[in-house]
Chains A and B, each alone.
Chain A
């Protein structure tokens, strides 16, 4: 699975290779929220000395949770990632899938996991209609090339995350790219 995940990482990195040009001057929130991990990502990041929080013995996150006297708060809105240093990701080459995909990501609507484009992102807002279609096609193609076992793992892991999530500020704004199960 690791090689398959590395291949997906590489494809996403190529797709987003010029995104930093768009990110210049961005005023949106960045590197915030609860970063969930696939099992092999949690294991690899743990080995790189990244603290991991495991919830309900089944879902792993990068430890960006607020701790008070050793107790953990799970409902703080947009906790900043502890791995961001001087505005940069300190584990950039090893960053997990959810970070590599953004502003694309999974969302559950009526029980279906959809791959969507989040709108609270300068890159998303700057995409013109024709470029957006090309981008959607590229993302869909990249995901279609991933093996079913990996897509199922992403869907299962995200499903577990979504089952314990809440949206006190209302849902994210997004545009649907493709249902994950149709890939």
Chain B
């Protein structure tokens, strides 16, 4: 359970890596502006 109101600061996120077993690990771009 988590109900924390925290988000991540997109300016402090420099690299995102998405890992899923059986799939190729990929680097993703950060969306820096809220839509």
Contact = CB atoms under 8 A, between A and B. Distances in A.
Q: Are A and B subunits of one complex?
A: yes
Interface of A: 28-35, 46-47, 49, 51-57, 63, 67-68, 70-78, 81, 98-99, 102-103, 105, 118, 120-121, 163-172
B3 A75 contact: no
Interface of B: 1-10, 12-22, 26, 28-31, 34-35
Nearest to A107: B4
Contacts of B4: 33-34, 105, 118, 172
Contacts of A164: 8-9, 12-13
29 contacts: A32-B2, A34-B8, A46-B19, A49-B21, A54-B16, A55-B8, A57-B15, A63-B18, A67-B28, A70-B29, A72-B29, A72-B31, A73-B10, A73-B34, A73-B35, A74-B8, A74-B9, A74-B13, A74-B31, A76-B7, A98-B2, A102-B1, A118-B3, A121-B3, A164-B8, A166-B6, A169-B5, A171-B5, A172-B6
Contacts of A98: 2
Interface centre among B18, B22, B26 (most CB of A within 10 A): B18
